């Protein structure tokens, strides 16, 4: 049995798309467990297990679903998958999962493109029920790593990285191999089999976007080059603050929102994968 944990936050826009792609690309028996909120709560009957409890933290929801799955599973050999609500397989993944788990106890997306994030990311993670139990898996943030900007950072999956490192566990990072657009983080395909939209339930603004240069955003205007040189002398935190004051963040949000909606409509119209 394959047990799948996912979360749909406030919106139901990705539910049918995700379920359709899972059904199409997974020919083994599976059950889907989820946390739903907002409009998504109207779809609870589409899942094996659905909770509409007012839990806020994404990592806490994943940990609760994992506990439920561990209790429900009839075998430690059952497969356990964590996947974001705006992520899904785009090709049959039965043999892909089998091959990975023959070599590694756990595999997960690693978003190095997000300014050097190295932790296992729950947009897609596959392991077994027995292994998750044995390491007392935990998606909470807390454990920190140094990113590409030499800043210490933590996020969802931080504590899981700590557990894996502490126990010298060799896990498989699932890396981005292609993108639907030129954006290096969102709208990505991983190892040719998993699509992750990114920011499917929130404003499409990533760490990568927040550090983009003014030149790239303001179309190489001379003033942008001057400002870029000046801003490189201030801290990253102050640079983000200046970006907001100059309206750079809003411009990027609007650009990303248009791209995001266009891609979503292509999925609705079944023009992609």
pLDDT tens digit string along 131-175?
999 999 999 999 999 988 788 999 999 999 999 999 999 999 999
For residue 21, pLDDT beyond 60:
yes
The count of other CB atoms within 10 Å of the CB of residue 61 is 23
For residue 219, pLDDT beyond 60:
no
Greater confidence (238 vs 254) lies with 254
CB 36 within 8 A of CB 5: no
Q: What is the C-alpha separation between 64 and 162, in angstroms, rounded?
A: 19
- What per-residue confidence (pLDDT) applies to 232? 66
Q: What is the C-alpha separation between 197 and 220, in angstroms, rounded?
A: 28
- Helix ranges (H only) for 33-187 are 58-72, 94-103, 129-135, 158-166
- pLDDT band for position 247 (cuts 50, 70, 90): confident
CA 57 to chain centre: 14
CB 12 within 8 A of CB 40: yes
The model's pTM is: 0.90
Within the chain, what is the greatest distance between any pair of CA atoms? 64
Q: What is the C-alpha separation between 96 and 135, in angstroms, rounded?
A: 23
- What per-residue confidence (pLDDT) applies to 216? 58
- What per-residue confidence (pLDDT) applies to 69? 98
Q: How many CA atoms lie within 13 A of 84 on its CB side?
A: 23
- What per-residue confidence (pLDDT) applies to 226? 74
Phi, psi of 58 (to 5 degrees): -60, -45
For residue 99, pLDDT beyond 90:
yes
- What per-residue confidence (pLDDT) applies to 204? 87
């Amino acid at each position: 049995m394959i047990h799948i944990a996912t979360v749909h936050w406030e919106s139901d826009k990705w539910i049918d798309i995700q379920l359709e792609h899972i059904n199409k690309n997974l020919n083994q028996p599976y059950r889907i467990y989820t946390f739903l909120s907002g409009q998504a709560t109207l779809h609870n009957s589409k899942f094996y297990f659905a909770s509409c409890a007012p839990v806020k933290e994404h990592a806490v929801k994943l940990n609760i679903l994992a506990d439920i799955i561990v209790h429900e599973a009839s075998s430690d050999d059952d497969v356990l998958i964590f996947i974001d609500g705006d992520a899904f397989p785009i090709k049959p993944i039965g043999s892909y999962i089998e091959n990975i788990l023959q070599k590694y106890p756990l595999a997960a997306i690693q978003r190095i493109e997000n300014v050097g994030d190295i932790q296992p990311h729950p947009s897609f993670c596959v392991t077994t029920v027995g292994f998750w139990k044995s390491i007392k898996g935990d998606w909470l943030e807390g454990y920190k790593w140094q990113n590409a900007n030499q800043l210490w950072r933590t996020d969802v999956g931080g504590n899981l990285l700590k557990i894996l490192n502490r126990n010298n566990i060799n896990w498989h990072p699932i890396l981005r191999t292609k993108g639907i657009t030129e954006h290096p983080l969102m709208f990505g395909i991983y190892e040719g089999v998993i699509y992750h939209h990114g920011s499917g339930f929130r404003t499409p603004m990533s760490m990568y976007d927040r550090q983009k240069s003014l030149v790239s955003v303001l179309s190489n205007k001379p003033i942008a080059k001057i400002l870029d040189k000046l801003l490189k002398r201030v801290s990253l935190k102050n640079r983000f603050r200046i970006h907001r004051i100059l309206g750079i963040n809003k411009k990027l949000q609007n650009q990303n929102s248009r791209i995001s909606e266009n891609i979503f409509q292509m999925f609705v119209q079944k023009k992609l994968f």
